[in-house]
Structure 1
Amino acid sequence: MALPAHISPMGRLAHYGYLIFCGSVLLFLIAPILVIVPLSFNAAPYFTFSREMLQLDPSAFSLRWYRDIVQNGMQNPNAAFGWAYLVDSWNNAQWIHSLKNSFVIAIATTILSMLLGTLAALGLTSPGMPARGLVTSLLISPMIVPIIITSAGMYFAFSTMGLTGTFTGLIIAHTVLGTPFVVITVTATLEGFDRNLIRAGLSLGASPVRVFRSVIMPLILPGVASGGIFAFATSFDEVVAVIFLADYDQRTVPRQMWAGIREQISPTILAMATILVLLSIGLLTIVELLRRRTERMRGTTL
């Protein structure tokens, strides 16, 4: 877009300097992704670009490390592809095991976070809520307090209750970390909510449950879903709490990647990171679609 003719030379310099600065920051943020994705197709077991890769030699690229995700730990990785191969991978492959754990924990965390966060947001936005600021600060404190302090505190608390090394303990810990996202998104959605709609529904004879299901829930659903997506991403990406609380059987993808970097440097980590990047892009796309839906709904209710 061309600048207006009346802009001074200093204004033009500031404008283009600002564009260069923003472009540099954006490049700095996406540079790791630009490096990780092509390296995940490296045929050699290295974390660097080989001369053949820079020359775009087809023999330098391979799906070797993506196959390793489903084969590493299998009893018979060289078997022909079929039902027995899939069962072997599902039951024995280390990365598949960590993926299953991550999805189980993240899905349970998302459900609990959406339930607790929505109830908390409804209470915080209700008229006459006492000590609203204090309660809000307590609810969102897991986002503010350093995760290592929170994890250490949960470790000492859970160890006395026998919850360390269990899926229950991990789900509770991740729910503590994910609920603030739901509280924030649902509270923001309820900021413009017209409570006269509730009074109108009750005056027409609808029960409180019917009013919530038919009036409140459709309006706050995008906020609930957005918060749930952030809770899912937080749980799926969490590694510090898993290090403190999980046993080997509860090893998640981030914990597996962290152990792989410490114990066995393998480009399989890059392949899994690429898969996680694609998952993140999908989640961000859903969040953006929900945001646009929320704006359309607000436009129709104004």
Structure 2
Amino acid sequence: MTDLKPRVDDATETATITAGRRGRRRRDRSVDPIPWWLIVIGAAVALYFVLPTLFVIPMSFGGSGSFQFPPREWSLDLYRNFFTNPKWIGSLGNSLLVAVLASLLATTVGTAAAVGLYSLSGRLPQFVRTLLMVSMVTPAIVVAVAVYITFLQWHLVGSLGGYVLAHAALGVPFVLVSVTSALGGFDARLLRASASLGASPARTFVRVTLPLIGRGVLTGAIFAFVTSLDEVVIALFLRSPTFQTLPVQMYTAVTVEVDPTIAASSSLVVVTVTLLLLIPLLVRRTRRR
């Protein structure tokens, strides 16, 4: 009997702890439950954004010379025309060139601005950060008109440099937000430790700062690239007969001429942008493992 009593007490204590944990889990789950109507609204919004893609991608495999849904016959003629037509493939090359150069410029400027503003304190950094974010909240048509008037005086309309500068200005806020968020968990004592060991500021940035904020820099660069690849309003103002981007060619295919090749180009853009936006998530998951 003496030996059984401690065992009974231990079993009772274990059962009490287990019941307490289960009760705590139930209470935690019921503290802030997601209401059913919010789930319905979220699903409706997601469906609203995905629904055009569900029509465009099947239409891109149609075999007729017009828009049909569902397609009566399946073919790769629209994709073949996209990759063989000089207008489409030329505009795609222009878009990729502009997007790469603009994202590089925006990443460099945005990262430098984020790191510089992080090391300052007071109201001035907040004002500068807000000033750099203006293009994100300003209507695209307003930015396009301002860029067009300015670039006319600088003789940059219709040039590669004009496209790169304009698209980089649109991408800087995304890089600034992403890198600033990455710097939120950065320990400034590492910079002092590196300096105490004799490292120069440039070497400290390359060997200490950049590896720690690299994920934010990569995310900002991807968003800058996607923003440039999708931009159409400013591109319409800056276009020329010899240089135009893919969004402008797609706009022309809808408004000036009825070219079903736009279904293939739209599908390619949607798939490319989706894969690019998934890269930061995959990188984050890989690092957690």
TM-score by length of 1: 0.81
Distance 1:237 1:33 in 2: 15
* 2:52 is aligned with 1:32: yes
Shifted more, 220-229 versus 14-23: the winner is: 14-23
CA distance in structure 1 between the aligned counterparts of 2:37 and 2:168, rounded to whole angstroms: 43
Q: Does 1:157 align with 2:150?
A: yes
* Structure 1 residues 199-235: Cα deviation after superposition (integer angstroms, max 9, x where no partner): 1111112222221111101011111111000000000
Instruction: Please list every run of 5 or more consecutive structure 2 residues that lacks an aligned counterpart in the other structure.
Output: 1-25
Whole-Å separation in 2 of the counterparts to 1:199 and 1:260: 57
Q: Give yes or no for contact 1:109–1:235 (8 Å, CA) kept in 2.
A: yes
1:128 Cα deviation from its structure 2 partner: 3.0
Aligned pair partner of 1:217 in 210, 218, 222: 210
Offset, 1:25: 1.8
Match of 1:49 in 2: 69
Gaps of 5+ in 1: 54-59, 73-92, 298-302
Using the alignment, how far apart are the partners of 1:16 and 1:184 within structure 2?
33
Determine if the alignment matches structure 1 residue 71 to structure 2 residue 84: yes
The answer on whether the counterparts of 2:158 and 2:238 sit within 8 Å (CA) in structure 1 is yes
Query: Is contact 1:155–1:244 with CA below 8 Å preserved after alignment?
Result: yes
Shift of 1:129: 5.5
1: distance between equivalents of 2:286 and 2:155?
Answer: 44
Residues paired across the two proteins, number = 261
Question: 1:226 touches 1:290 (CA, 8 Å); kept in 2?
Answer: no
Structure 1 residue aligned with 2:115 = 122
SS in 2 for 1:218: helix
Mapped partners of 1:26, 1:103: distance in 2: 28
Partner residue in 2 for 1:194: 187
Report deviation, 1:293: 5.7
1:243 aligns with 236
Tell me, yes or no, if structure 1 residue 138 matches structure 2 residue 150: no
In 2, the alpha carbon distance for the partners of 1:268 and 1:129 equals 53
RMSD: 2.3
> Aligned partners of 1:18 and 1:109: how far apart in 2?
39
Structure 2 Cα separation of the partners of residues 204 and 293 of structure 1: 32
Shift of residue 47, structure 1, vs aligned partner:
2.1
- Residue of 263, 269, 282 corresponding to 2:262: 269
CA deviation after TM superposition for structure 1 residue 71, in Å: 2.5
Q: Distance in 1 between matches of 2:271 and 2:245?
A: 18
Residue 110 (structure 1) aligns with: 103
Contact (CA 8 Å) 2:98, 2:228: kept in 1 or not?
yes
Give the structure-2-normalised TM-score.
0.85
- Classify 1:137/1:127 alpha carbon distance in 2 versus 1 (closer, same or farther; 3 Å): closer
Matches of 2:75 and 2:40, distance apart in 1: 36
Letter in 2 for 1:45: G
1:21 and 1:131 map into 2 onto residues whose CA distance is: 41
State whether residues 165 and 247 of structure 1, in contact with CA within 8 Å, keep that contact through their aligned partners in structure 2.
Answer: yes
Identity of aligned residues (%): 38
Could you give the per-residue CA deviations for residues 248-271 of structure 1, whole angstroms, max 9, x where no partner exists?
Answer: 222111000000001111221000
In structure 2, what residue type is equivalent to 1:178? G
Q: Where does structure 1 differ by over 6 angstroms across 4 or more consecutive aligned residues? A: none
**In 2: Cα distance, 1:262 partner to 1:23 partner:** 32
Partner of 1:61: 74
